[in-house]
Chains A and B, each alone.
Chain A
Amino acid sequence: MTDLAAVLFDGVVYSSWLFMMAAGLTLIYGVMKILNIAHGSLYALGAYAAASLVGAWLAGGHPPIASYALLAAAALAVGLVMGPLLERGLLRLMYGKDEVVLLLVTYAVFLILEDVIKLVWGVESLVVSEPYALPGNFSIGTLAYPVYNLILIGAAVAIGLAVAWGLYRTRAGKLLLAVIHDREISAAMGINVDRMYLLTFTIGATLAAVGGALTAPTIAVSPGIGVEVIVLSFAVVVIGGLGSLGGAALGALMVGVVRSVMVRYWPEAELFTIYLVMALVLIARPKGLFAAPEARKI
């Protein structure tokens, strides 16, 4: 029983982390129809920024409790700088091209940012584990767990609720839903679609950076961390249905729990099962679990 609870808990922690990534990815796709490969780099940038900021803070002998605020600040800074930079500076030039061409554009951005990260931070890995160790442990049965995992789950739930509230309960969110539904009609109705794109991409980028910043204390931040993340979050959003926030949450839970069950009982099959689930879902529901129906244009 303890065993099962532990596996499930691990799964939920992993799902929370996945969801933070997937929420941004699916939001950007929903509004802009861009499947953003560079999302993985934004995640990595968030992790690096957080690790070096917190590292510098702690090296100065300041109280470690403030490092949580720094994690958040680092993520915000990355999102607010990189989001507008990429959207205004590059993606704006590409609107109107095929979805697949836009996929290639973000792939190019991903390649560039991978090297930028290496140039700025070098190839050594950064380890800043204080925020992870600080809150101590709690136990499930006989197993001890870091409290930090609860913070991760809390953050994911908070982000999910905040995005859902913003999307369905605020004026800006409703305008955004209109843009998602039909970009041209929305523009004709006087919605500033350009600004909506900027807003969406910045929020999406910030979510990726938050995911990275919150993960930074739990791992050794090193080159290449964005590479694996991006295909995993692709799997999550494709399972849930591109553009669906609820789908991303369900996809994250499915992938997270399947992974932790596999890691426990059949570790050889871990990676392979995740993509098998993705393939099976796409076979059964070609557009994912929660994709909105679309009119076919002739």
Chain B
Amino acid sequence: MSRDRTTVALAVVCACLLAAAPVAPQWLVFLLTLALAKGLVVLGLVLLMRTGLVSFGQGLYFGLGAYAAALLGARAGILDGLVMIVAGIATAAAVAAALGLLLARYRDIFFAMLSLAFSMILYGLLVKSSALGSTDGFNLHAKSFAGFALADGVGRRVFYAAAVIAVFAAGLAVHRYLASHYGRLATAIRDNELRVEYLGASVFRIVYANYVAAGALGGLGGALAALAVGHVDPETAYWTTSGEFVFIAVLGGTGNVLAPFLAAGVFEAVRTLASQYAPNVWQMTLGIVMLLLILFLPAGLWSLVAKKRAGT
């Protein structure tokens, strides 16, 4: 697969999604916004997985982004959607920059567990803080976006368009990064980091950079999701939310920057259908699909796309 193909595919998909913004039905806009927001978080997770690290705590950044956006409105009275998103990214990136110094030294299961612990600390704080609505969370409502006032009913479409643009920008940036010198070293670290060190590259620096980028993407996804839903609650930082992100990442595979979004779309669609027709076996379906994927399609849904391309 050449680099250009992915870039073109990304541009075409995003252009189509953007063109659909004014005309798509309200429910579809909502579903796609959530899928794209989660896809962004998972894109960050994929960055980490490239270096062989699985974070069971991306909910930390998802929750931070969501709460930062919401608090800006509730406490500082700033009700601009774009500013909220920037606040979400900045908060998550700042926390990731601090925690990353520590976490970038951990590997395997210890990395997974320590990141889980940090996300549970945030969850514990949010659940017990009555000022932030405890387990119920609170609502947020953006009145404008980048200075333009939002009329009733238009807000969600604007957030959707913002999500599409964010996906394009993030997807392109991550794609470029993965194809660069440092991006390629990530896979080498997964295979054997000691040899990478012997070759003279700094493993710590690459893992750290990927971790901070993943945190920023998590904050971006969280802020977008909070804007789309209009509500934040501590569940965003709970470990089952993080588990969901890991699931989507496994579903898509780490082969391409488009994979997380494909997987997130499939995930949200299946979830919507399942909650309508089979609410009691929804988790079971997820679990079975996950086992089947691990057994028969370890490189994720994306490997189907890639294989088909290679065949033609």
A39–B114 alpha-carbon span in the complex (Å): 19
B202, CB-defined interface residue at 8 Å: no
- B108 cross-chain contacts in A, Cβ below 8 A: 99-100
Across the interface, A100 reaches (CB within 8 A) one of B112, B123, B282, namely B112
A110, CB-defined interface residue at 8 Å: yes
Whole-angstrom distance between the Cβ of A247 and the nearest chain B Cβ:
14
B112 & A116 in contact (Cβ 8 Å cutoff): no
> 1/0 contact trace for B118-141 toward A, CB 8 Å?
101101110111000000000000
Whole-angstrom distance between the Cβ of A92 and the nearest chain B Cβ:
12
Q: What is the interface of chain A, defined by CB distance below 8 A to chain B?
A: 35, 90, 93-94, 97, 99-101, 103-105, 107-112, 114-116, 118-119, 227, 231, 234-235, 238, 242, 267-276, 278-279, 282-283, 286-287, 296, 298
Given known contacts A99-B108, A116-B284, A286-B110, is B116 in contact with A107 (CB within 8 Å)? Answer: no
> 1/0 contact trace for B78-119 toward A, CB 8 Å?
000000000000000000000000100110111011101110
Q: Please provide the chain B residues from 271 to 288 with a CB less than 8 Å away from any CB of chain A in the complex.
A: 280-284, 286-288
- B8 cross-chain contacts in A, Cβ below 8 A: none
Across the interface, A271 reaches (CB within 8 A) one of B112, B114, B127, namely B127
A271–B298 alpha-carbon span in the complex (Å): 36
> 1/0 contact trace for B197-237 toward A, CB 8 Å?
00000000000000000000000000000000000000000
B255, CB-defined interface residue at 8 Å: no
B240, CB-defined interface residue at 8 Å: yes
B121 & A115 in contact (Cβ 8 Å cutoff): no
A272 & B128 in contact (Cβ 8 Å cutoff): yes
Across the interface, A109 reaches (CB within 8 A) one of B116, B195, B280, B287, namely B287
- A99 cross-chain contacts in B, Cβ below 8 A: 108-109
B183, CB-defined interface residue at 8 Å: no
Given known contacts A99-B108, A103-B112, A235-B117, is B287 in contact with A271 (CB within 8 Å)? Answer: no
A279 & B128 in contact (Cβ 8 Å cutoff): no
6 sampled A-B residue pairs with Cβ under 8 A: A100-B54, A103-B56, A114-B283, A234-B116, A278-B117, A298-B192
A119 & B295 in contact (Cβ 8 Å cutoff): no
- A235 cross-chain contacts in B, Cβ below 8 A: 117
A111 & B110 in contact (Cβ 8 Å cutoff): no
Excluding A272-B124, A279-B118, 18 further A-B contacts by CB distance (< 8 Å) are A99-B108, A100-B54, A100-B109, A101-B298, A104-B54, A107-B290, A109-B287, A111-B287, A115-B282, A115-B283, A118-B280, A231-B116, A234-B116, A238-B113, A267-B128, A275-B124, A279-B121, A283-B102
A108–B294 alpha-carbon span in the complex (Å): 10
Across the interface, A275 reaches (CB within 8 A) one of B121, B194, B280, B291, namely B121
A268 & B129 in contact (Cβ 8 Å cutoff): yes
B62, CB-defined interface residue at 8 Å: no
- A227 cross-chain contacts in B, Cβ below 8 A: 240
- B192 cross-chain contacts in A, Cβ below 8 A: 298
**Nearest B residue to A93, CB-CB:** B295
- B118 cross-chain contacts in A, Cβ below 8 A: 275, 279
A268 & B128 in contact (Cβ 8 Å cutoff): yes
B120 & A231 in contact (Cβ 8 Å cutoff): yes
A108–B118 alpha-carbon span in the complex (Å): 23
B109 & A271 in contact (Cβ 8 Å cutoff): no
Q: How large is the interface on B (under 10, 10 to 19, 20 to 34, 35 or more residues)?
A: 35 or more
Residue with the greatest number of chain B CB neighbours at <10 A, chosen from A107, A270, A287, A296: A107
Residue with the greatest number of chain A CB neighbours at <10 A, chosen from B117, B240, B246, B291: B117
Residue with the greatest number of chain B CB neighbours at <10 A, chosen from A118, A119, A231: A231
A298–B243 alpha-carbon span in the complex (Å): 31
B117 & A279 in contact (Cβ 8 Å cutoff): yes
A119–B285 alpha-carbon span in the complex (Å): 13
- A90 cross-chain contacts in B, Cβ below 8 A: 291
B261, CB-defined interface residue at 8 Å: no
Whole-angstrom distance between the Cβ of B131 and the nearest chain A Cβ:
11
Across the interface, A112 reaches (CB within 8 A) one of B56, B128, B287, namely B287
- B194 cross-chain contacts in A, Cβ below 8 A: 296, 298
- A94 cross-chain contacts in B, Cβ below 8 A: 294-295
A35 & B109 in contact (Cβ 8 Å cutoff): yes
**Nearest B residue to A35, CB-CB:** B109
Whole-angstrom distance between the Cβ of B48 and the nearest chain A Cβ:
11
- B280 cross-chain contacts in A, Cβ below 8 A: 115, 118-119
A94–B239 alpha-carbon span in the complex (Å): 24
- A97 cross-chain contacts in B, Cβ below 8 A: 294
**Nearest B residue to A231, CB-CB:** B239
- B282 cross-chain contacts in A, Cβ below 8 A: 115
- A114 cross-chain contacts in B, Cβ below 8 A: 283-284
**Nearest A residue to B289, CB-CB:** A108
Q: Please provide the chain B residues from 237 to 259 with a CB less than 8 Å away from any CB of chain A in the complex.
A: 239-240, 243, 246-247, 250
A203–B214 alpha-carbon span in the complex (Å): 39
- B56 cross-chain contacts in A, Cβ below 8 A: 103
Given known contacts A109-B287, A286-B106, is B120 in contact with A271 (CB within 8 Å)? Answer: yes
Whole-angstrom distance between the Cβ of A33 and the nearest chain B Cβ:
9
A270 & B102 in contact (Cβ 8 Å cutoff): no
Across the interface, B120 reaches (CB within 8 A) one of A101, A115, A268, A275, namely A275
**Nearest B residue to A224, CB-CB:** B240
A104 & B290 in contact (Cβ 8 Å cutoff): yes
- A283 cross-chain contacts in B, Cβ below 8 A: 102
A107–B240 alpha-carbon span in the complex (Å): 10
